[in-house]
Structure 1
Amino acid sequence: MERLARQRSYLLCPPTHFTVEYVINPWMDPDIAVDTAHAVAQWTDLRDTLAGLGHEVCELAPEPGLPDMVFAANGAFVVDGVAYGAQFKYPQRAAEAKAHQRFYEDAGWRFVPPTVVNEGEGDFAYLPAAHGGLILAGFGFRTETDAHGEAQEALGRPVISLKLVDPHFYHLDTALAALDDGNVVYYPAAFSDSSQRVLRQLFPDAVVAPREDAMAFGLNLVSDGRNVVLNTECAGLARTLAAAGYHPVPVDLSELKKGGGSVKCCVAELRR
């Protein structure tokens, strides 16, 4: 099948202040040294890769004292020009939400502030061609289920709740990704049995990833419908995606992985 790329607009934030000073997910360890300059170089390669594929790349200014701002996907969830804001679970990241709100409001987007905990596009995925336009929403570790209803009201799209059960996959975007406007790739065991049945029903042609690739942040990817930007460690998943007609584009984000994220965590999609 011929896969067609669609030009996208993305928001990224440089890891100028990136470090690991606390533990809020199973991947973080303050005893493991972080090379911030190396993280900036890897992030720059990601930014240039996305721009080189023809996509618009906007940047959010990093702020001192917020080392996780590089994970820009968590700051909001945007559909049809409406930004549903984030409210972080952990106080260490709380101030990031205001930085994202200022970005959207200053740029003229319609911003809907949240009233319950949700971590933006980290726990939401949008597929405009799936069943007339569908939002997938994760819960179990960060985002509260009440946020699913709030997002549905804010964005006017049906929301399907999916329960995450493995703490290594604490956000939806570590366990599932949209490959195009109507299909996904995911790691089944990250979800409850009932949520797995829902995914099989909604996406019978989905690409299924093994645990090895999922644990290497292979599902934390960004796809434009043809080009799939993913972690260099996931060669097996890259071959599977190529066999399905997609074009894998590997990037090395090993330094940022120390904070519990990879490609998708660094990229918020701006859907106008």
Structure 2
Amino acid sequence: MAQVITSADQIDFTVDERPSMPLPTEVLMVRPLHFSVDYVINPHMADQVGKVDKIEANNEWELVRSLFDQVGMNIHVIEDQEGLPDMVFCANQSLPYIDEDGNEHVFMSIMHADERKDEVPYIEQWYRQNGYKIHFLDEDNISDFEGCGDAIWHTGKRLLWGGYGYRSSLEAYETISDTFDVPILALELVDESFYHLDTCFCVLDEDTALIYPEAFTNEGLEMINKMFDTVIQASKYEAEELFACNASCPDGRNVIIQQGCTDVNKNLRDNGFSVHEVSTYEFLKSGGSVFCMKMLLW
């Protein structure tokens, strides 16, 4: 039965009480051959149309890829497609899951912007070729859902965090919760610069999260603070300009993050994390960084 939670007083379990889920060991990435800023669908893209250095973008992407390799992840690469400049942000087109029997599932996204809708079939093809059970949302009743841009697994637990308000509909989480049989803690986003949950919320390990608090309602902050022992807060500058919260911590230890996040990185190290800085400046022009550029899989 679906369990979509929107306030702390509705939470009737602790993190420890949720069943364990394996940590991901695989990473899916999309090569940025056609990456550019050709249109404006978020505030970060304003004034950036035509300004991407494609050679530098490819160099940055290769370094992100190499860092995931260095921390022990197995990497799969999909070629991007002409006319789909944002396909490189492959956190957005799907939500994968591994059930308790080890079967692999995936919900395909309903992209909010028309410019990105044609990305989804290419990602779906990869899942089909790799034996995933494919699930779809009812497009007649659900307007949008942008995969792991808004839906983020709690490290090592069968518990999902779901952002809504700009790119994903709250109604989508009813279907996802019911299908996967997991509770979903739904967080309303209230700042258009933080249009995806992965721009303002990063689960680091079972007990620790990195957030930009001003992106959430008071109800959302109460849920976050109830479910994590430690909540690291990013400043407006590091969150909005450097996408600090769009970091990725695939193994609960190693954090790959945009370079220059001085205060956040100190807090990460003080809390026992290993920090790996990388330049994603070309991708920041399109409103994305490390987390957006990959999909974690099992």
TM interval, shorter chain, is over 0.9
Give the structure 1 partner of residue 248 of structure 2: 222
1:209-248 equivalent positions in 2, closer than 5 A: 209-215=234-240, 216-223=242-249, 224-248=251-275
Give the structure 2 partner of residue 109 of structure 1: 132
Give the structure 2 partner of residue 3 of structure 1: none
Distance 1:71 1:162 in 2: 22
Distance 2:260 2:282 in 1: 13
Choose which of 109, 114, 119 in structure 2 pairs with 1:91. Answer: 114
Q: Which stretches of structure 1, 4 residues or longer, exceed 4 Å deviation after superposition?
A: none
Instruction: Name the amino acid aligned to 1:266.
Output: M
Distance 2:262 2:200 in 1: 17
Deviation at 1:209, TM superposition (A): 2.0
1:123-162 equivalent positions in 2, closer than 5 A: 123-129=150-156, 133-162=158-187
Answer with 27-36 or 64-73: which moved more.
27-36
- Asked if 1:77 is matched to 2:95, the reply is yes
- Asked if 1:19 is matched to 2:36, the reply is yes
| Percent identity between the two aligned chains | 30
Distance 2:67 2:222 in 1: 35
TM-score normalised by length of structure 2 = 0.85
Give the structure 2 partner of residue 254 of structure 1: 281
Distance 1:200 1:30 in 2: 36
Distance 2:208 2:173 in 1: 20
Distance 2:96 2:49 in 1: 36
Partner of 2:51, secondary structure, is coil
Partner of 1:259, secondary structure, is coil
Residues 61 and 27 of structure 1: is their aligned pair in 2 closer, same or farther, counting only changes over 3 Å? same
Distance 1:162 1:129 in 2: 20
Structure 1 unaligned residues grouped into runs of 5+:
1-5
Q: What whole-Å deviation, never above 9, does each CA across 1:232-260 have from its counterpart, x for those lacking one? A: 02121111100000011000000111110
RMSD: 1.4
Structure 2 unaligned residues grouped into runs of 5+:
1-22, 99-103
Size of the aligned set, in residue pairs, is 264
Give the structure 1 partner of residue 147 of structure 2: 120
Q: What whole-Å deviation, never above 9, does each CA across 1:78-98 have from its counterpart, x for those lacking one? A: 111211111101100000111
Answer with 145-154 or 249-258: which moved more.
145-154
Distance 2:35 2:294 in 1: 16
1:185-200 equivalent positions in 2, closer than 5 A: 185-200=210-225
